[in-house]
Structure 1
Amino acid sequence: MKTAISLPDDLFASAEALAERLGVSRSALYATAVAEYLAKHQARKVTDRLNALYADESSALDPRLARAQKRSAARTAW
C-alpha cells in the first residue's frame, strides 16, 4: 500500500542516511520502524492487561513458605 506522510526535515534526513547505511530502501526502513513500534506497543498492551489482572492479587509470600525459606537459607553457606 502506498501512503504519504509529513516528517520534519531533520527526521527525514536522518532516516535517509540510516536507510543508505543499512542498504535498504526508504519504504523498507519505514515498514520496519512501524512494525517494531507496533510490536513494542502490543507487548506493552499485554503487560498492562496482566498488571490490571493481578492488581487485586496479594503478592505477599505465604508465612509458612517464608519460614521454610528462612530455615533453608540459614543452613546454606554464602
Structure 2
Amino acid sequence: MYLYPGCERLDLTHYDGYTIGMKTAVSIPDGVFEKAERFARRMKKSRSELYSRALSEYLARHAPDHVTEAMDQVCAELGAEPDAFVSTASRRVLERSEW
C-alpha cells in the first residue's frame, strides 16, 4: 500500500501505470512555465509535485464551502457558551473605538 497526499490508500499490486494519479495536459504561458521550472529545481521537487501542490493550495483558498465547514467545525468544538472575559474585553475595545 502507498499513501499518496490527498488520496486514499492505493493498492499498487494492481497498478499498471508508471505514475500515481491522473495524468493531464495543460497549456500555460511560457513565462509561468520557466519560473515554475526554476522554482521546482531550486526546491528539488518534480514538476508534477509542484503543480499538484500549487493546484491543491489554490483550491483550498478558493473553496468557500470548505472554509465555512472548517470554521463551523471549530465553532462546534469550542461550544456556544459566551466567555465573560472575551465579552468584557470586546465591549471595552469597542467603547474606545471611533466609529
Q: 1:19 aligns with which of 40, 51, 76?
A: 40
Match of 2:26 in 1: 5
Q: 1: CA distance between counterparts of 2:51 and 2:36?
A: 8
- 1:33 is matched with 54
Q: Structure 1: how far apart are the matches of 2:59 and 2:28?
A: 19
Structure 1 residue identity aligned to 2:25: A
Structure with higher helix content: 1
Deviation, 1:41, is: 1.0
Percent identical residues: 48
Bigger strand fraction: 2
When the two structures are aligned, how many residues end up with a matched partner? 52
Post-superposition Cα deviations, 1:47-69, rounded to whole Å, max 9, x if no partner, equal 5xx9xxxxxxxxxxxxxx89xx5
Residue ranges of structure 1 left out of the alignment (5+ in a row): 51-64, 74-78
Secondary structure, aligned partner of 2:59: helix
Structure 1: 4+ residue segments shifted above 4 A:
none
The Cα offsets for residues 24-45 of structure 1, whole Å up to 9 and x where unpaired, read as 0000000000000011112x44
Q: Which has the higher contact order (CA 8 A, sep 6+)?
A: 1
CA distance in 1, matches of 2:55, 2:28: 14
Larger Rg: 1
